[in-house]
Amino acid sequence: MMEPFEMTVAQSLLALREKEISARELIRSYVKRITEVEPAIRGFISLLPEEMILAQAEKVDKLLASGQPVHPLAGIPFALKDNMCTRTLATTCASRMLKDYIPPYDAHVTEMLDEAGGILLGKANMDEFAMGSSTENSAFHVTRNPWDQNCVPGGSSGGSAALVAAREVAFALGSDTGGSIRQPAALCGVVGLKPTYGLVSRYGLVAFASSLDQIGPLTRTVEDSARVLEAIAGHDPRDSTSAARKRESYSKFIGREVKGFKIGVPREFFEQGIAPGVKDVVLDAIARCAGTLGIEVDDVSMPHSPYALSAYYIVATAEASSNLARYDGVQYGFRAPNSDNLLDLYHETRSQGFGQEVKRRVMLGTYSLSSGYYDAYYLKALKVRTLIQRDFTEAFQEYDFILTPTSPTVAFQIHEKIDDPLTMYLNDVYTTPANLAGVPAISLPCGFSDQKPVGLQVIGRPFDEGRLLQFSHALEAVLDIQGKRPLL
Amino acid sequence: MKITVKDVEHVAALARLNLSDQEKKIYTGQFNVILEHIDRLNQLDLEGVEPTTYVQHLQNVFRSDREISSEKALLRAIMQASPDREDGLFKVPPVME
């Protein structure tokens, strides 16, 4: 028989409802799995005590036995990226600055998953303050890619992606500012969805770049992505950018017909330093899907996409420099000891509390906002953002979806890129356009290059997550790589 | 535009960061490489293009403030997360000599 931890979210829910397994058995299977593989993977920053987790599972079992209607994710174990506030566990952002910080409130997504009956197991490792593409910027430890432990899991939601790939959790949440859900999903061979900007509340998500940040699920399948998304999406007045829309069922789109969908494949996304192996796998995947599904595929141009990365690194760092000004050692978090005066306290706290990459981005952002450079950098980037958004609007007049590679390379070696910031930033070359335009995008595993997973990115129209998941589910069925798992 | 060590010192001061001489040198080099890449934006004609700060066009989103002075447990949790405090206030070193 299949080990319980091998089941997807959808399979687990069914098994629980059919009483083939109890929530306690399901959770125990995950706890055992974590004991076995976590020493090698190190995807977690913190774990809740086993008694607390099992007590939650027992509550679910009682509810199931009572015959009352159960919550949509009742009994399903998950992890949160450690930039989402939890009152029960420190929320560190993988930074010395917040190492012992216990928030006085839960994030909106923490509340929503709790209400849905999900069982939080722990908090996932990440690049410090979500800045990075390899999770090597964590102040605590490196996370390893389950497919090749000498390689990074991607980032910044690398812990979330590795935990899902290693079957240590049934799903995880990540946050995506320039690709931080999709790129690690691609490198770890799982499904990662960045919803439309505003679909999921950012209340209680520690801010990096507020006009770009969005929370989304990392899962093993597209159907699971739909299940988790419908549990966390919806209007929240505590986030002023949260979209005032009615809640929707996304899982009802799974399995619907996709024949006749029109797909654009922008040629600019197969340039800019793509590894030949990745290009071949993605093009082959698109060709196979086109033939099998009866969809129309056209070569298109999105002429401003090669400028997205540059615009992104100005906008994101400018917003970060402003958002991270709050870490001053006064109200919460780390404070440097022995400061003589307040100004000294600010300087010492920030210099000792932030790591190299965070300092680099805060300074870059400060530079582009500083007197004399604002027009040359920040304002220019905002105008380019308009052009990138326009490229998408035009493409979506003709096409239902855009297909591209998620990342120009497969997982790379630990230490390979960490000393060269620009090379690291180039990981985000295909993912940043969707953030700048605010449109939803998902990464699906579509094959292997050099025995490592390759991600296919599907980009959709704003708030069209239902059809995006419907189409992605059809692609997943054709690509059929679910049978392959990392050997752990 | 070439960034110099002096520019890095200026930006670090604005961002309230202390840097060692070694760090100043490394950051200066890295910023020049990154900004050279970013300068490709100069290839675009941006005449007449409006800037986009947010993709949604929201205006004046209001919500009511919530009074929390009676929520003792929440206030306690907030103060407990602070590095130094006295009588329900955050405590800092002298602002002026």
Nearest to A360 among B30, B46, B55 (CB): B30
Angle between helical axes of A465-479 and A276-293 (0-180°, round to 10): 100
Nearest to A104 among B7, B50, B74 (CB): B74
Written as one letter, the residue type at B10 is H
Nearest to A421 among B30, B90, B92 (CB): B30
Given an 8 Å threshold on Cβ–Cβ distance, is B27 in contact with A307? no
Instruction: For residues A153 and A143, give the distance between their C-alpha atoms in angstroms, rounded to a whole number.
Output: 7
Contact status, residue A218 vs residue A160, Cβ threshold 8 Å = yes
Least Cα separation, residue B95 to chain A (angstroms): 5
Smallest CA–CA distance from B35 into chain A, residue: A310
Written as one letter, the residue type at A343 is L
Instruction: For residues A141 and A251, give the distance between their C-alpha atoms in angstroms, rounded to a whole number.
Output: 36
Instruction: For residues A2 and A27, give the distance between their C-alpha atoms in angstroms, rounded to a whole number.
Output: 15
DSSP A375: I
| Catalytic sites of A, residue numbers | 81, 156, 180
pLDDT on residue A242: 96
Given an 8 Å threshold on Cβ–Cβ distance, is B63 in contact with A240? yes
pLDDT on residue B1: 66
Tell whether A374 lies on the interface with B, counting CB pairs under 8 A: no
DSSP A379: I
Helical (H) or strand (E) element with A395:
helix A380-398
pLDDT tens track, chain A, 488 positions: 689 999 999 999 999 999 999 999 999 999 999 999 999 999 999 999 999 999 999 999 999 999 888 899 999 999 999 999 999 999 999 999 999 999 999 999 999 999 999 999 999 999 999 999 999 999 999 999 999 999 999 999 999 999 999 999 999 999 999 999 999 999 999 999 999 999 999 999 999 999 999 999 999 999 999 999 999 999 999 999 999 999 999 999 999 999 999 999 999 999 878 999 999 999 999 999 999 999 999 999 999 999 999 999 999 999 999 999 999 999 999 999 999 999 999 999 999 999 999 999 999 999 999 999 999 999 999 999 999 999 999 999 999 999 999 999 999 999 999 999 999 999 999 999 999 999 999 999 999 999 999 999 999 999 999 999 999 999 999 998 867 889 88
Chain B neighbors of A335, CB-CB under 8 A: 83-84
Backbone angles phi, psi at A122, to 5 degrees: 180, -175
Chain B neighbors of A379, CB-CB under 8 A: 51
Least Cα separation, residue B51 to chain A (angstroms): 4
Instruction: For residues A93 and A77, give the distance between their C-alpha atoms in angstroms, rounded to a whole number.
Output: 21
Given an 8 Å threshold on Cβ–Cβ distance, is A422 in contact with B33? yes
Nearest to B63 among A103, A198, A237 (CB): A237
Contact status, residue A123 vs residue A163, Cβ threshold 8 Å = no
Which one, of A122, A123, A124, A8, lies nearest residue A56 by Cα? A122
Please write the tens of the pLDDT for every residue from B36-50: 999 999 999 999 999
The structural domains of chain A, ordered by start, are 1-488 (3.90.1300.10)
CATH architecture of B5-43: Orthogonal Bundle (1.10)
Residue partners of A127: CB distance under 8 A and separation at least 6: A94, A133, A134, A135, A136, A137, A138, A155, A156, A158, A180, A357
Chain B neighbors of A105, CB-CB under 8 A: 74
Given an 8 Å threshold on Cβ–Cβ distance, is B90 in contact with A103? no
Tell whether A463 lies on the interface with B, counting CB pairs under 8 A: no
3-state secondary structure chain B: CCCCHHHHHHHHHHCCCCCCHHHHHHHHHHHHHHHHHHHHHHHCCCCCCCCCCCCCCCCCCCCCCCCCCCCHHHHHHHHHCCCCEECCEECCCCCCC
> What counts of helices (H) and strands (E) characterise chain A?
15, 11
Instruction: For residues A236 and B63, give the distance between their C-alpha atoms in angstroms, rounded to a whole number.
Output: 11
Instruction: For residues A92 and A83, give the distance between their C-alpha atoms in angstroms, rounded to a whole number.
Output: 7
Given an 8 Å threshold on Cβ–Cβ distance, is B63 in contact with A367? no
Given an 8 Å threshold on Cβ–Cβ distance, is B11 in contact with A330? no
Percent of chain B surpassing pLDDT 70: 99
pLDDT on residue B47: 95
pLDDT higher than threshold 90 for residue B69: no
Given an 8 Å threshold on Cβ–Cβ distance, is A383 in contact with B50? yes
Smallest CA–CA distance from B91 into chain A, residue: A330
Mutate to test the interface with B, among A380, A387, A396, A417 (most CBs of B within 10 A): A380
Least Cα separation, residue B70 to chain A (angstroms): 15
pLDDT-derived band at B56 (thresholds 50, 70, 90) equals confident
pLDDT-derived band at B57 (thresholds 50, 70, 90) equals confident
Least Cα separation, residue A383 to chain B (angstroms): 4
Please write the tens of the pLDDT for every residue from B9-37: 999 999 999 999 999 999 999 999 999 99
Mean pLDDT of B68-96: 92
